[in-house]
């Protein structure tokens, strides 16, 4: 029998969450802000006819993808999006895409400045590295409990949990990309009298774009991996279809919805990778 007193860690965490809940006005404001971004994306997707949405995706792919396999990817996208339409998952797909884009956008807005800070400050790097490790390794289900307590049920807590889970790659890759800028170029910028801001926006960030886009790609994929988990707290989309199929032991329905998630994941992955490859050739 262990006679060592047990730390009341769970009690401390509960007390901390209860203390955060007291800031109702702040979290309501955050909920309205994130909900506004989410609703704006969804409004655009609902406004665009399905056939036009497919055409726009194909046109974007044709523009950003310059390699020899472009036509194969275009054919896959056309077939995949038509299949999602045919299976009557289109609205669910756009809701999932809205969750991914909203969480990825917030992750970029927060993650890129943190990555820049890490690259400039050794102290910031020492502090942020273990926090990023914690964010990325903590089971995603754990984030749902405080997210529901602070933001309620629906898309917003799902987006918040996705941001926490998906942001570390953006921070890490931004930090790595800026640190890998050749010192000779930094010295050349200094010799021309560049300020820190000029060096950042005209030298470091442009040269770090490849790493930054890799971080964007990873953050999007991690956000997409959260759609089923987020469906447990009311986030709508393809994840809800998969979650309900599991509850009903509906293998066919779950596979069909899962296939739609795979199609969306491949399209987003190839588009962001194409942007990175295009930069490398440039």
Q: Are 181 and 237 spatial neighbours (Cβ–Cβ below 8 Å)? A: no
DSSP state of 139: -
Residue 213 burial by CB count (10 A; 0-12/13-18/19+): exposed, middle or buried? Answer: buried
Could you tell me the pLDDT band of residue 277, with boundaries at 50, 70 and 90?
low
Locus of tokens 């009690």: 11
Which DSSP string do the residues of 74-107 spell out, in sequence order?
A: HHHHHHHHHHHHHTT-HHHHHHHHHHHHHHHHHH
Q: In sequence order, which ranges of the chain are alpha helices (DSSP H)?
A: 9-21, 24-47, 50-64, 70-86, 90-120, 122-137, 140-151, 155-179, 183-191, 196-199, 205-207, 209-225, 227-231, 238-248, 251-281
Domains of the chain and CATH, by start: 22-281 (1.10.3720.10)
With vertex at residue 264, the alpha carbon angle to CA 260 and CA 265, rounded to the nearest 5 degrees, is 115
The set of long-range contacts for 36-42, using a CB threshold of 8 Å and a minimum separation of 24, is: 37/102, 37/105, 37/106, 38/98, 38/99, 38/102, 38/155, 38/156, 38/159, 41/97, 41/98, 41/101, 41/102, 42/94, 42/95, 42/98
pLDDT digits (tens, 9 = 90+) for 131-188: 998 888 888 778 788 888 888 888 888 888 889 888 999 999 999 999 888 888 888 8
- C-alpha 22/C-alpha 5 separation (Å) is 30
DSSP secondary structure code for residue 34 in this structure = H
* pLDDT, mean of residues 20-44: 89
pTM: 0.87
Render pLDDT for 100-138 as a digit per residue (tens, 0 to 9).
Answer: 999 999 999 999 999 999 988 899 999 999 999 888 888
Instruction: Name the CA dihedral angle for 213, 218, 220, 225, rounded to a multiple of 10 degrees.
Output: 170
Residue range 47-104, pLDDT digits in tens: 999 999 999 999 998 888 777 678 888 999 999 999 999 999 999 999 999 999 999 9
Identify the residue whose tokens are 């050739």: 281
CA distances from 180 to 35, 188, 191 (A): 37, 16, 20
């Amino acid at each position: 029998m262990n006679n060592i007193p047990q730390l009341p860690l769970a009690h401390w965490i509960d007390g901390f969450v209860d203390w955060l809940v007291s800031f109702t006005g702040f979290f309501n404001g955050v909920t309205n802000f994130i909900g506004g971004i989410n609703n704006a994306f969804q409004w655009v997707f609902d406004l665009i006819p399905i056939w036009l949405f497919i055409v726009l995706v194909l046109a974007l792919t044709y523009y950003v993808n310059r390699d020899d396999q472009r036509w194969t990817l275009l054919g896959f996208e056309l077939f995949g999006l038509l299949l999602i339409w045919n299976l009557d998952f289109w609205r669910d797909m756009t809701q999932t895409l809205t969750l991914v884009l909203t969480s990825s956008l917030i992750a970029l807005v927060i993650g890129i400045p943190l990555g820049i800070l890490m690259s400039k400050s050794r102290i910031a790097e020492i502090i942020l590295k273990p926090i990023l490790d914690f964010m990325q390794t903590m089971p995603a289900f754990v984030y749902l409990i405080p997210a529901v307590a602070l933001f309620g049920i629906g898309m917003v807590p799902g987006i918040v949990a996705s941001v926490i889970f998906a942001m570390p790659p953006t921070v890490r890759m931004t930090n790595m990309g800026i640190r890998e800028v050749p010192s000779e170029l930094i010295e050349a910028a200094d010799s021309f009298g560049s300020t820190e801001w000029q060096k950042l926006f005209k030298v470091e960030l442009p040269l770090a774009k490849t790493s930054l886009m890799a971080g964007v790609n990873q953050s999007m994929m991690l956000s997409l991996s959260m759609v089923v988990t987020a469906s447990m707290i009311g986030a709508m989309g393809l994840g809800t279809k998969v979650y309900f199929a599991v509850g009903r032991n509906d293998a066919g329905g779950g596979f069909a919805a899962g296939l739609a998630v795979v199609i969306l994941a491949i399209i987003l992955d190839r588009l962001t990778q194409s942007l990175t490859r295009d930069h490398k050739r440039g």
